[in-house]
């Protein structure tokens, strides 16, 4: 893991600016650094040492000194790539760095080098003679990259907080992002909450030349299920590719560890770490919110050195401002704070940490993915017109058993599913926002993504949507920021190009069906884990938020935020208080909506309140 930043253009006190930008990223790379300025191009790099060899400044330069690369990430097929380059005539040392490999590959194949890389990356390549800049981000968006264009200056960085040090930028809230955030519970991946600062999307590269920006998509996570694939072959293929992915991801001279929850994703990974460290956090609020006992049992089963920690409510609430700072953007997922604490625990023992993130999206792990299969028989037997009428009638009824089934069965998946993090619909947003004209239909944002999916079954379409929205905006965003805040390199074996190639061809019913989620992955895990573990449903870092918000102390804290000047600027505070009071009184669980808004206000206080 590293931090990269730079700018092109005329700025006063250039060296001070690039130094401030780099210092804002020092948590990403506290071990070493590098900076360069020639009066037109200024760049800086912060390095986290996870290899035996120390960082070498010369590794960022081409042999003739005309090109330099800043690279944040890890390449896992380095030996194969080196062999191809040597065969093409490149002179490369045996201990070549990832940055050097990619730079030589760029010299040989141009943008085509991205198709040959297996790993995670955010990179910048400056051609100092031609005056061009090339930016690129890995296929899934494991590594972040942001940019802005203001005052004749083009700047980029690993995190937004670095770009905020650029004097050409004037800080302002992007109100359109607020509307999208209220829908998804996270920032839409194609934008940021800072007006004028953009995010380079996963699987994209950018050229900057002569003041012009051109962006191209080089990869798309397309599923192509093979309905004729037999279960035995699917299990064999997934088993082989996961074993290979874990093998290449484990290559490191630094101490390794693994996050461990009660789910099959992390339990399977932990089985490859006998004698090494695993880490779990929970809450002192009863078994429903505590996975540490399970983690200790599994650690004994697979032979890992288990580290666990129970968090108190006070610890959780005290760490929230720090979490909001490192996130850069609002994120209405209450699991981010315990994730930060888990990474903090791990940082005392290791520098490279494994996570099971991405398995749910790739292999069909969310429970909601089982719903289409449960409705399919009804949809086949009942004519569309009848289903539509029953759905319309059900929508007028109060909450009752079977109501949601009839409504969803009368509509297409594009109308009913707007992502795993869905929080507020159109009517909710119109009531909540001070300016209701900002509110948009959630489907206006999701349908263009669905139309790119190029598949017919609902389960796969839902997975595709979540890979493009929830995975990028929540899972990977929080994982990268919380790991980097603790100076850890995070590795995600499930989000591997070769793994996805195999997963993309698995028949839909072997991913998610009416009986099971991640079916094939669970069958593979049974080869290394007890059956009860492989089939166990994960708690997923559960947070007793709904309980705390019925406590006078935390109710009062949120109430003060909901009645603040910041809240009054953006929201109708009577609506906010209705959510909070209804939850406190036990009328309904409004914790998700409350937390989505409260997280936004925490972020606003960090970045816009003196």
58 pLDDT tier (thresholds 50, 70, 90): low
Residue 53 has pLDDT above 60, yes or no: no
* Residue range(s) occupied by CATH 3.60.20.10 in the chain: 2-217
Let me know: does 75 contact 101? Beta carbons within 8 Å: yes
Q: Which token pair is 522?
A: 């669970």
Query: What value, to the nearest 5°, has the Cα angle with vertex 190 and ends 188 and 192?
Result: 70
Residue 55 has pLDDT above 70, yes or no: no
Let me know: does 421 contact 445? Beta carbons within 8 Å: no
| Residue 68 pLDDT | 95
* Residue range(s) occupied by CATH 3.40.50.620 in the chain: 231-310+338-364+469-534
Residue 397 has pLDDT above 80, yes or no: no
Residues 6+ apart with CB under 8 A from 36: 42, 43, 44, 68
CA distance linking residue 344 with residue 313, whole number of Å: 17
576-588 pLDDT tens trace: 999 999 999 999 9
Strand pairing report for 277-283 and 305-311: parallel
Q: Which token pair is 137?
A: 């981000």
Average pLDDT over residues 247-271: 91
115-126 pLDDT tens trace: 999 999 999 999
Query: What mean pLDDT, rounded, does the chain reach?
Result: 92
CA distance linking residue 254 with residue 456, whole number of Å: 45
Q: Residue written as tokens 């201990």?
A: 95
| Residue 57 pLDDT | 65
| Residue 136 pLDDT | 98
Q: Is 341 a catalytic residue?
A: no
| Residue 324 pLDDT | 97
96 pLDDT tier (thresholds 50, 70, 90): confident
The partner residues of 579 in beta bridges, in order of sequence, read none
**What is the percent of the chain with per-residue pLDDT over 70, rounded to a whole number?**
98
Residue 422 has pLDDT above 70, yes or no: yes
Q: Which homologous superfamily is 2-217 in? A: Aminohydrolase, N-terminal nucleophile (Ntn) domain (3.60.20.10)
The partner residues of 43 in beta bridges, in order of sequence, read 6, 36
| Residue 580 pLDDT | 97
pTM, entire model: 0.95
5-29 pLDDT tens trace: 999 998 889 999 999 999 999 999 9
145-165 pLDDT tens trace: 999 999 889 999 999 999 999
492 vs 537: which has the higher pLDDT: 492
CA distance linking residue 206 with residue 214, whole number of Å: 6
Query: Torsion-angle region of residue 307: left (phi > 0), alpha (psi -120 to 50) or beta?
Result: beta
Residue 569 has pLDDT above 90, yes or no: yes
CA distance linking residue 146 with residue 191, whole number of Å: 10
| 379-393, 465-479, 517-531, 535-549 — most confident range | 465-479
List 5, 166, 258, 455, catalytic entry: 5
496-539 pLDDT tens trace: 999 999 999 999 999 988 888 999 999 999 999 888 777 777 66
Let me know: does 267 contact 298? Beta carbons within 8 Å: yes
- Please measure the distance between the N-terminal and C-terminal CA atoms of the chain and give it in whole angstroms: 31
| Residue 492 pLDDT | 98
| Residue 292 pLDDT | 86
Q: Which token pair is 182?
A: 């209220």
CA distance linking residue 298 with residue 356, whole number of Å: 15
| Residue 338 pLDDT | 95
Q: Which token pair is 488?
A: 């850890």
**What is the percent of the chain with per-residue pLDDT over 90, rounded to a whole number?**
75
Average pLDDT over residues 263-277: 93
Burial class (CB in 10 A: 0-12, 13-18, 19+), 21: buried
Let me know: does 332 contact 592? Beta carbons within 8 Å: yes
String of DSSP letters for 202-245: TTEEEEEETTEEEEEE---------TT--HHHHHHHHHHHHHHH
160-203 pLDDT tens trace: 999 999 999 999 999 999 999 999 999 999 999 999 999 999 99
| Residue 59 pLDDT | 67
Span 231-310+338-364+469-534 CATH architecture: 3-Layer(aba) Sandwich (3.40)
Between 591-608 and 313-327, two packed helices, what is the crossing angle to 10 degrees?
Answer: 60
Among 239-248, 458-467, 537-546, the least confident range = 537-546
Residue 395 has pLDDT above 90, yes or no: no
540 pLDDT tier (thresholds 50, 70, 90): low
Residues 6+ apart with CB under 8 A from 126: 6, 8, 41, 43, 67, 68, 69, 132, 133
- Say how many C-beta atoms besides its own lie within 10 A of residue 401's C-beta: 6
Let me know: does 281 contact 338? Beta carbons within 8 Å: yes
540 vs 370: which has the higher pLDDT: 370
| Residue 56 pLDDT | 65
241-255 pLDDT tens trace: 999 999 999 988 888
String of DSSP letters for 60-105: GB-TTSSEEEEEEEEES-HHHHHHHHHHTT----TT--HHHHHHHH
| Residue 54 pLDDT | 59
| Residue 23 pLDDT | 97
Between 477-485 and 313-327, two packed helices, what is the crossing angle to 10 degrees?
Answer: 100
Q: What is the rounded radius of gyration, in angstroms, for the C-alpha atoms of the chain?
A: 24
377 pLDDT tier (thresholds 50, 70, 90): confident
- DSSP secondary structure code for residue 331 in this structure: B
Let me know: does 178 contact 193? Beta carbons within 8 Å: yes
Query: What value, to the nearest 5°, has the Cα angle with vertex 146 and ends 143 and 207?
Result: 100
């Amino acid at each position: 893991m590293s931090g990269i930043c730079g700018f092109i253009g005329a700025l006063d006190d250039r060296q001070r600016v690039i130094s401030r930008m780099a210092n804002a990223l020092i948590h990403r790379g506290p071990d070493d650094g590098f900076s360069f300025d020639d009066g037109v191009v200024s760049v800086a790099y912060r390095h986290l040492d996870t290899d035996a060899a120390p960082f070498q400044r010369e590794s960022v330069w081409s042999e003739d000194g005309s090109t330099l690369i800043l690279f944040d990430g890890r390449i896992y097929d380095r030996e194969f790539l080196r062999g191809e380059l040597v065969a093409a005539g490149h002179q490369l040392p045996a201990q070549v760095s990832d940055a050097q490999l990619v730079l030589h590959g760029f010299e040989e194949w141009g943008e085509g080098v991205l198709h040959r890389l297996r790993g995670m990356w955010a990179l910048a390549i400056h051609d100092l003679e031609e005056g061009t800049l090339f930016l690129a981000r890995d296929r899934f968006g494991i590594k972040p990259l942001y940019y802005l264009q203001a005052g004749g200056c083009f700047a980029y960085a690993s995190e937004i907080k670095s770009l905020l040090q650029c004097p050409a930028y004037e800080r302002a809230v992007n109100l359109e992002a607020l509307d999208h955030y209220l829908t998804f519970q996270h920032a839409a991946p194609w934008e940021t909450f800072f007006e004028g600062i953009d995010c380079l999307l996963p699987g994209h590269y950018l050229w900057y030349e002569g003041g012009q920006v051109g962006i191209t998509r080089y990869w798309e996570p397309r599923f192509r299920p093979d309905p004729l694939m037999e279960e035995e072959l699917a299990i064999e293929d997934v088993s082989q590719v996961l074993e290979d992915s874990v093998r290449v991801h484990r290559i490191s001279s630094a101490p390794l560890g693994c996050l461990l929850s009660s789910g099959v994703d992390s339990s399977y990974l932990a089985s490859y770490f006998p004698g090494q460290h695993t880490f779990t956090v929970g809450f002192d609020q009863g078994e429903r919110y505590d996975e540490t006992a399970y983690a200790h049992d599994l650690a004994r089963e697979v032979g890992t050195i288990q580290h666990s920690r129970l968090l108190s409510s006070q610890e959780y609430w005290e760490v929230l401002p720090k979490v909001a700072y490192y996130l850069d953007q609002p994120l209405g997922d209450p699991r981010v704070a315990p994730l930060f604490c888990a990474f903090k625990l791990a940082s005392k023992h290791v520098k490279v940490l494994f996570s099971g993130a991405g398995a749910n999206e790739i292999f069909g792990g969310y429970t909601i993915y089982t719903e289409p299969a449960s409705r399919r028989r009804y949809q086949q037997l009942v004519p569309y017109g009848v289903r539509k009428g029953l759905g319309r009638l059900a929508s007028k009824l109060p909450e009752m058993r079977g109501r949601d089934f009839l409504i969803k069965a009368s509509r297409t998946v594009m109308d009913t599913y707007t992502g795993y993090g869905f929080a507020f619909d159109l009517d909710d947003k119109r009531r909540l926002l001070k300016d209701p004209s900002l509110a948009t239909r959630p489907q206006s944002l999701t349908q263009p993504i669905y139309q790119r999916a190029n598949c017919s079954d609902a389960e796969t379409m839902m997975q595709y949507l979540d890979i493009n929205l929830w995975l990028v905006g929540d899972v990977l965003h929080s994982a990268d920021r919380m790991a980097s805040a603790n100076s850890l390199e995070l590795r995600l074996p499930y989000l591997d190009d070769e793994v996805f190639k195999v997963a993309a061809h698995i028949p839909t019913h072997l991913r998610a069906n009416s009986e099971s989620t991640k079916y094939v992955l669970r069958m593979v895990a049974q080869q290394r884990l007890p059956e009860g573990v492989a089939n166990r449903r994960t708690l997923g870092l559960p947070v007793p938020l709904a309980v705390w918000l019925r406590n006078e102390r935390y109710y009062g804290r949120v109430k003060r935020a909901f009645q603040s000047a910041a809240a009054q600027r953006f929201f109708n505070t009577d609506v906010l208080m209705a959510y909070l009071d209804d939850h406190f009184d036990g009328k309904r669980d409004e914790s998700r909506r409350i937390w989505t808004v409260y997280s936004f206000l925490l972020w606003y206080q960090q970045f816009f309140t003196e």
